[in-house]
A = this chain, B = another copy of it.
Amino acid sequence: MGPGPSNPYPEVTAALTFPVLGHLDPRFLDVLDETCRRLRKVFQTENALTLPLSGTGSAGMEAVFVNFVRPGDPVVVGVNGLFGERMCDVAARVGADVVRVDAPWGEPLDPSALVSAHPAPRIIALVHAETSTGVWNDVAAVGKVKGDALLVVDTVTSLGGMEVLVDAWGMDVAYSGTQKCLGVPPGLAPLTVSDRARSRLVERPTSWYLDLNLLARYVDSGAGRVYHHTAPVTMIGALNAGLGVILGEGLEEGWDRHYRCGKLLQDGLEAMGLELFATRSHRLAQLTTVRVPETLPDGMDEAGVRRALLDRFDLEIGGGAGKLSGRVWRIGCMGHSSRRVNVLTCLGALAEVLKR
């Protein structure tokens, strides 16, 4: 129950053992096509260019800036946590003129501040669900007023765990990771690109590995396959299985399950006298930040509490990231881990460890 990786769905673990197929085997290409179709449903998009990238969520972030930014392009980035910070770093490395718009960690970004930060940005980028703070940002509000800019959204911790409507909210590019609410081990970055964004792809980006022009020629079954790199076939099969579980449960039912588990956890934590970090109106359910209490049992620091949970209860929760290091714990209820029984176990174990 850390901030990810979550436990994989049993169907996903089973899929990892399926025979390894060649990356050009027609049976594997059927799996790949199905994975892309399922990703479109989970992203709630009609985007033709929707695929799993062969790297973790951070590779998804990098792919966006590498493929859409030319040196000097103004890029507005909302920063209210570690992953907004990371976006600034990644964008700057490919030469973006980064315009940051900050909000305090624990608070949401102000959509109007994002939109007014630059008169003609090439990209407005923000994180939907900040894994470092437990706060969600209002993507739909930015989408309504984004103008000519491309709206780029990090959905690593939101996809599958809460409403994510790529088309309806006006996102142009969204990427995610497999190891959070999709219930699949880490290793792939689902990505979707609108036709509008696609027409603005940089022609020959600095990265060959993440070059979307080349990748599109492999994943696009219509245009004939062109080999790019050896697709990670086993992980793609696992992702396909995870998406099958999610669509089988029903997208809205899954969002609701994540909401109810998170609420149960948060109510329980508050009932124990612990204080939640994220501002109430924009609190994520799937990732909860808890302030570390000022007094802990004798001889224990915050890392000691986490170690005791791991050693005594085989239960992982996360420490704070970036400037919240040492100040909060992060508890995930994501994917297959988002179960009532896990929440109750976590609350009980935490009560036991914090007992004086």
B residues less than 8 Å from A20 (CB atoms)? 5-8, 179, 185
* CB of A93 within 8 Å of the partner chain: yes
Closest to A187 in B: B232
Closest to A95 in B: B206
Q: Are the CB atoms of B25 and A310 closer together than 8 Å?
A: yes
Complex CA gap A2/B21 in Å reads 10
Closest to A321 in B: B227
Closest to A14 in B: B17
Chain A facing B: main interface SS: loop
* CB of A230 within 8 Å of the partner chain: yes
Complex CA gap A177/B20 in Å reads 15
Complex CA gap A6/B20 in Å reads 8
* CB of A118 within 8 Å of the partner chain: no
Over the window 45-58 of chain A, the binary record of Cβ atoms lying under 8 Å from chain B Cβ atoms (1 yes, 0 no) is 00000000011111
From residue 65 to 82 of chain A, which have CB atoms closer than 8 A to chain B?
Answer: 66
Over the window 314-335 of chain A, the binary record of Cβ atoms lying under 8 Å from chain B Cβ atoms (1 yes, 0 no) is 0010100100000000000000
Closest to A131 in B: B230
Copies in the complex: 2
Minimum Cβ distance to chain B for residue A306 (Å): 10
Complex CA gap A50/B13 in Å reads 28
Q: Are the CB atoms of A86 and B208 closer together than 8 Å?
A: yes
Q: Are the CB atoms of B230 and A4 closer together than 8 Å?
A: yes
Complex CA gap A179/B209 in Å reads 17
Closest to A204 in B: B93
Minimum Cβ distance to chain B for residue A347 (Å): 20
* CB of A213 within 8 Å of the partner chain: no
* CB of A89 within 8 Å of the partner chain: yes
Complex CA gap A93/B21 in Å reads 31
Q: Are the CB atoms of A209 and B55 closer together than 8 Å?
A: yes
* CB of A207 within 8 Å of the partner chain: yes
* CB of A297 within 8 Å of the partner chain: no
Q: Are the CB atoms of B90 and A54 closer together than 8 Å?
A: no
Q: A22-B316, A185-B234 are in contact. Are A209 and B58 (CB under 8 A)?
A: yes
B residues less than 8 Å from A206 (CB atoms)? 66, 93-94, 206-207
Complex CA gap A62/B230 in Å reads 14
B residues less than 8 Å from A316 (CB atoms)? 21-22, 25
A7-B20, A17-B17 given; 6 more Cβ-contact pairs under 8 Å: A2-B24, A54-B187, A55-B59, A59-B229, A185-B234, A187-B232
30 examples of A-B residue contacts, CB within 8 angstroms: A5-B230, A8-B20, A13-B17, A20-B179, A22-B316, A25-B316, A26-B310, A54-B56, A55-B55, A55-B59, A56-B229, A56-B232, A57-B229, A57-B230, A58-B228, A59-B229, A61-B209, A62-B208, A66-B207, A89-B208, A90-B208, A90-B209, A93-B206, A177-B230, A179-B230, A185-B235, A186-B232, A186-B233, A207-B207, A235-B235
